């Protein structure tokens, strides 16, 4: 899956801004948070190419390194990029709904 474009840093979505609004980032790629470059991007070439490819299709992308899972970073897209995204409110009904919908 070679892709020649680079990740556009200026267009990356801030995960904390989503969480502050009560929205969950939709992760699509996990990588070791300890294996990132000075810009917080994964050092793995295939991971970078995949992220750049998704971003080049016009999908807003962000990188989330301060995650609840130890040494795990994620590439994500905001919920507005998906019509039926549940909100992350922290209450039990929301969590049950996510589990039922995605069979977690």
- With H, G, I as helix, E, B as strand and everything else as coil, classify residue 22: coil
Sequential pLDDT tens for the chain (104 residues): 455 689 998 999 999 888 899 988 889 899 999 999 999 999 999 999 999 999 988 899 999 999 999 999 999 998 876 544 334 444 434 334 333 433 33
Q: Residue 34's closest CA among 68, 73, 75?
A: 73
The contacts of residue 41 (CB under 8 Å, 6+ apart) are 7, 48, 51, 63
Domain boundaries, position 54: 9-102
- The answer to whether position 42 is within a domain reads yes
- The answer to whether position 4 is within a domain reads no
- The answer to whether position 3 is within a domain reads no
- The answer to whether position 92 is within a domain reads yes
What's phi and psi for 57, nearest 5 deg?
-85, 5
Q: What's the structural domain count of the chain?
A: 1
- The answer to whether position 2 is within a domain reads no
Quick one: tokens of 48? 């970078």
How confident is the model at residue 79, as a pLDDT? Answer: 83
| DSSP assigned state of 98 | H
How confident is the model at residue 25, as a pLDDT? Answer: 86
How confident is the model at residue 71, as a pLDDT? Answer: 94
Q: What is the pTM of this model?
A: 0.69
């Amino acid at each position: 899956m070679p892709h020649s474009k680079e990740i556009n840093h200026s267009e990356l979505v801030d995960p904390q801004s989503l969480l502050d609004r009560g929205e969950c980032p939709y992760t699509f790629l996990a990588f070791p948070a300890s294996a990132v470059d000075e810009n917080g991007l994964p050092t793995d070439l295939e991971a970078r190419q995949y992220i750049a490819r998704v971003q080049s299709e016009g999908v807003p992308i962000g990188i989330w390194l301060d995650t609840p899972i130890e040494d795990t970073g994620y590439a994500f897209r905001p919920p507005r990029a998906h019509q039926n995204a549940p909100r992350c409110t922290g209450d039990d009904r929301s969590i049950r709904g996510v589990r039922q919908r995605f069979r977690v």
